[in-house]
Chains A and B, each alone.
Chain A
């Protein structure tokens, strides 16, 4: 139990530091690589919350596909590969003020509402619901309760794929 808290704070520190570097670094490629660190650490937090299937999907889809897509985007738009001072707006301070104010409001609301609620342990019997594992429960749920949204997402992905090809095609 203590180990869980320890791992939570270690992973959270990696997430916060890497996310900060994603939005502040002067090098586009470094931003993409820090994004990999953020996404992998978020997958680790999912494992801590006993959602191992989502963690695997996060690694496959985000790190395997989306980050590669970002790297292709960086390559094709010929962003400067070295350090580039022009990546951040000169009025970044108002963006920072907005983000800090937003965080203050969110933190106040969250502490006020959920101050003492506890998440069940990942081995909690309610999570390991009927079929023994989270993955089995998730897949049963997708193909029964959430079948229609699942099919809608499939069609949306197809539409987005066709749309992206039409947009990016050279002619």
Chain B
């Protein structure tokens, strides 16, 4: 009874997820917000693989691969949008983007 607890991995995922949430909320640079989103996606992947190992199934690993693929697509489009914002406004500061404010 000395092997790994499921909760070790789940709590590690929770810590990583919350650090990512903090980054999304507290950062002003759009590129850094995208990096924090990567932290959140990695936390989800740790949980998927830990549950897959718990149930002895590869479904967790397969879905983790899908998440990695979607993360790649998300970063590609996200950075293209950030680049476009930079070209139009010469800044990637999220506080400057307040046109929709009532």
Contacts and interface: CB of A to CB of B under 8 A. Distances in A.
Interface of A: 1-2, 4-5, 8, 12, 15-16, 19-20, 22-23, 28, 31-32, 35, 38-39, 42, 45-46, 48-51, 53-54, 57-58, 61-62, 65-66, 69-70, 72-74, 76-79, 86-89, 91-92, 94-96, 98-100, 102-103, 106-107, 110-111, 114-122, 124, 126-127, 129, 134, 137-138, 141-142, 145-146, 149-150, 153, 156-157, 159-161, 163-165, 167-168
Counting from the closest, the 3 A-B pairs by CB-CB distance are A126-B56, A95-B25, A160-B73
A99 B26 CA distance: 10
Given A32-B35, A42-B45, A114-B6, A129 B58 contact: yes
Interface string B31-59: 11011101100100110011011101011
Given A73-B31, A160-B74, A163-B80, 20 more contacts: A4-B3, A19-B39, A22-B23, A22-B39, A46-B46, A51-B60, A54-B65, A73-B79, A91-B26, A95-B25, A96-B22, A117-B6, A119-B50, A120-B53, A122-B53, A126-B56, A138-B58, A141-B59, A160-B77, A167-B84
Interface residues of B, number: 72
A106 B17 contact: yes
Nearest to B51: A119
A52 B1 CA distance: 24
B97 interface: no
Contact of B42 (A31, A39, A74, A78): A39
Given A15-B12, A89-B28, A102-B21, A4 B42 contact: no
A116 B28 CA distance: 40
Contacts of A117: 5-7, 54
Contacts of B59: 141
A168 B83 contact: yes
A141 B12 contact: no
A31 B29 CA distance: 11
Contact of B92 (A79, A89, A145): A79
A137 B66 CA distance: 16
A46, A73, A121: residue with the most chain B Cβ atoms closer than 10 Å: A73
A126 B53 CA distance: 9
